[in-house]
Amino acid sequence: MSKEKNISKYKTTTFVILLFISSILFNQYFGHLGIQPIDSFFSFNSGYDVLNGYFPFKDYWTITGPVIDLTQAIFFKIFGVSWFSYVFHASIFNSIFSIATFYTFYKLKLNIKYCFLYAILLSILAYPSAGTPYVDHQSAYLSTIGVFCFILALITENKFYWFSFPIIFALAFFTKQTPAGYIFLILSILSLIYFLCNFDIKKIIFLLAGLLTSFLIFFLLLKTGEIPFKLFYQQYILFPLSLGETRLEFIFPIEFQRIILRFKLIHLSSLIMIIVAIKNIRKNYSYLRSNEFLITLSLLGLVFSLIIHQLMTINGMFIYFLIPILVGFSHVYFDKYFKKINLILYTLITLSVLSTAHYSHKYIQQRHFMDLHKANFKNAIDAKFLHINLKGLKWLTPQYLNDPKKELIILKEAIEIIEQDKLKKVIITDYQFISVISSSYDYSPSKYWYEFHVNPVKGQEYFENYRNFFLNKIKDNQIKKIYTVKPLIGFTDNNVLNDILPNSCYIKKDLTDILTGYTLQECPDLK
């Protein structure tokens, strides 16, 4: 190997190692800074459930995919059940996403220092916005990596990319249906166009093999977990589809401010690619069949899908990670078509750096995802006060901004009461970690609690399915007690058993300011 190749290999390895470490450290820091109970503990309890042999759809109702819970169980198994290993899950994925970005630009022949720059900027904006494992984030990031695979399949002769991209999208879809479903549909259409213009039986076989492998993995998962397909289909397909119409109200009416101005820097980052496409189409209509045009469409499809998804959800903004990606691709296009106009290129690079600094401050440093943008983080205290497994978490929630210790004191009191009760129980709370840190196993029928959007309510099409699932959980496990621990942000009524059980089936008693106990009685519904 020549001296130049050795130097290049050393430089590449150094950049990848730096990227790996820094991506982890960025997320580890922010993943320990503040929480929003209903979102921050999203997979803490369910990951622990899977670790102990329970499976989604069968053992707890969920409308989000099993991938994130299964992955968290692995992290708990390897690194122990702790806040560190919970955040480390998200940190590792932040690192994988960053390295995938670096690798993609490297394969596109972008100067290695710029590959590193765009990847490190992405690592600042990606998972640190949540800090902890979250389905919307992970589905979006896996989908983006899937787009990278599609692009690399177009520009290289390595057929492995055709095999891998449907598998990655399967992982994205079984993390959360959206935005993965939108993006995969777009790439499926673009793949069809590609093969109509460039028929290659070997590439098609690899693509079909990837699709077949995805289905085999899915059915193996159902088989291993002994999950009835009917339960999966009801919870993951039918009920979410029934919610789709209601989510359209978050998109319409289409307004310039919401669609364009709110995401103006994302749109601006795409401008070079759009200009190149228009210029080349006007020059020669055959450009419409080119791989480069398919790449442009895949990236614009990614942008469109993520903006639509962001508008349809009520989660904090997190899609600004697109800016360094789009600027990176614009840089590739710029090097090819506008080599002499360096001012525009430097403007784009500056845009990427400054927008990263801006959105990092606005959404990440101020913990916007946790609704902590008005918080004084000096008030935060170490959650080891509550339990050693939460050591390192700087506890601060929107509900107790000025007095987090008070929240931990009353929460600790509630947990102690629950622990003293040796009856089999269900714990309904936004603090989806209580059973993990206590000696009381939670036979919860739901992954987390949010009526209408997660748990069907009376009047919705699949309410009776959910109610029967809930009642069977109680009967099969001989549950004698149900506890609720406030806050329960996703409930409009303090009585969370409304329409699930008639009043004659339980005796309700307020035990503390945040803790309520429901002692179950013999009644027809529980026989």
pLDDT digits over 43-63, tens only?
999 999 999 999 999 999 999
Q: Is 327 domain-assigned? A: no
> Residue with structure tokens 């919870």?
235
What is the 3 state secondary structure string of 3-24? HHHHHHHHHHHHHHHHHHHHHH
Examine the pLDDT at 145 and tell me if it is beyond 90: yes
Residue 269: both structure tokens together: 């980052």
Instruction: Place 10 in a pLDDT band, splitting at 50, 70 and 90.
Output: confident
Instruction: Say if 20 falls within a structural domain.
Output: no
pLDDT at 5: 63
Q: Are 90 and 40 in contact (CB under 8 A)?
A: no
CA gap 398, 34 in Å, rounded:
9
More confidently predicted of 250 and 206: 206
Rounded Cα gap, residues 337 and 376, in angstroms = 49
The closest alpha carbon to 517, from 484, 489, 493, belongs to 484
- Strand segments, DSSP code E, in 391-480 are 394-395, 425-429
Q: Are 163 and 209 in contact (CB under 8 A)?
A: yes
Structure tokens at 287: 């450009």
How confident is the model at residue 70, as a pLDDT? 97
pLDDT at 286: 93
Question: How far is 136 from 310, CA to CA, in rounded Å?
Answer: 9
What are the φ/ψ torsions at residue 460 (nearest 5 degrees)? -80, 155
Distance CA 263, CA 319 (A): 9
Q: Rounded distance, CA 504 to CA 129, Å?
A: 45
Instruction: Classify strands 381-382 and 515-520 as parallel, antiparallel or unpaired.
Output: unpaired
CA distance 286 to 423: 72
Residue whose entry in the numeric block shows the structure tokens 């998804």: 309
Across the range 336-342, mean pLDDT stands at: 80
Please give the angle made by the CA atoms of 515, 468 and 493, to the nearest 5 degrees: 35
In whole angstroms, give the CA distance from residue 406 to residue 209: 56
Q: What is the pLDDT, as a whole number, of residue 243?
A: 82
Main-chain phi, psi angles of 12, to 5 degrees:
-60, -45
Across 218-322, the runs of DSSP E, i.e. the strands, are none
Select from 172, 207, 223 the last residue of a domain.
Answer: 223
pLDDT of 517 > 90? The answer is yes
Which whole number is the average pLDDT over 271-289? 94
R_g of the chain computed on alpha carbons: 25
Coil, helix or strand at residue 494: coil
Domain final position from 223, 252, 275: 223
List the structure tokens of 38. 């209903």
β-strand pairing of 425-429 with 381-382: unpaired
Q: Determine the pLDDT at residue 491.
A: 84
Q: Is 276 contained in some domain?
A: no
Is the confidence at residue 411, as pLDDT, over 60? yes
Condensed to tens digits (0 to 9), the pLDDT of residues 226-241 reads 999 999 999 999 999 8
Is residue 510 situated within a structural domain?
A: yes
Predicted confidence at residue 519, as pLDDT, reads: 96
What whole-number distance in Å separates Cα of residue 98 and Cα of residue 26? 12
Confidence band of 283 (pLDDT split at 50, 70, 90): very high
Q: Within 10 Å of residue 380's Cβ, how many Cβ atoms?
A: 21
Question: Whole-angstrom Cα distance, residue 234 to residue 62?
Answer: 10
Q: Is the pLDDT of residue 462 over 80?
A: yes
Mean pLDDT across 86-106:
98
In the three-class reduction of DSSP (H, G, I as helix; E, B as strand; rest coil), residue 120 is classed as helix
pLDDT > 90? residue 278: yes
pLDDT at 4 over 80: no
Average pLDDT over the chain, rounded to whole? Answer: 93
* 509 occurs within a structural domain: yes
Percentage, residues of the chain above pLDDT 90: 82
Among candidate residues 77, 86, 84, the one with its CA nearest the CA of residue 41: 86
Whether residue 228 is preceded by a cis peptide bond, meaning omega within 30 degrees of 0, is no
What pLDDT sits at residue 32? 98
Distance CA 145, CA 149 (A): 6
At residue 501 the predicted structure's pLDDT band, cuts being 50, 70 and 90, is very high
Element (H, E) at 80: none
Position 1 pLDDT exceeds 70: no
Identify the domain containing residue 401 by its residue range. Answer: 396-526
Kindly indicate the confidence band of residue 320, based on its pLDDT and cuts at 50, 70 and 90. very high
Task: Give CA–CA dist 392/412, Å, rounded.
Answer: 17
Is it the case that residue 186 has pLDDT exceeding 60?
A: yes
Output the pLDDT for position 394.
Answer: 98
**Pair 55, 45: CB distance under 8 Å:** no
CA distances from 93 to 52, 90, 450, 511 (A): 23, 5, 27, 41
Q: Give the position of tokens 């903004």.
A: 317
CA distance 446 to 301: 34
What pLDDT shows up at residue 493?
Answer: 65
Any domain includes 341: no
- If one counts the domains in the chain, the total is 2
Q: Does 311 reside within a domain?
A: no
Asked whether the predicted pLDDT for residue 261 surpasses 70, the reply is yes
Of the given ranges (57-71, 174-188, 431-445), which has the lowest mean pLDDT?
431-445
Q: Examine residue 101 and state whether it is found in any structural domain, yes or no.
A: no
Crossing angle of helices 291-312 and 271-283, in 10° steps, is 140
d(CA 508, CA 410): 20
Q: Which two tokens stand for residue 82?
A: 């702790």
Instruction: With H, G, I as helix, E, B as strand and everything else as coil, classify residue 73.
Output: helix
How many other β-carbons are positioned within 10 Å of the β-carbon of residue 401?
A: 17
Last residue of a domain, one of 180, 206, 223: 223
- Rounded distance, CA 69 to CA 503, Å? 34
Note the pLDDT of residue 182: 95
- What pLDDT score was predicted for residue 441? 82
Model confidence band, residue 120 (pLDDT cutoffs 50, 70, 90):
very high
Cα first-last separation, the chain: 76
* 87 alpha carbon, distance to own chain's centre: 13
Helix (H), strand (E) at residue 262: none
Choice among 2-6, 316-320, 355-359 with the minimum mean pLDDT: 2-6
CA dihedral 441, 442, 443, 446 (to 10 degrees): -150
Mean pLDDT, residues 6-14: 82
Q: Is the pLDDT of residue 254 over 70?
A: no
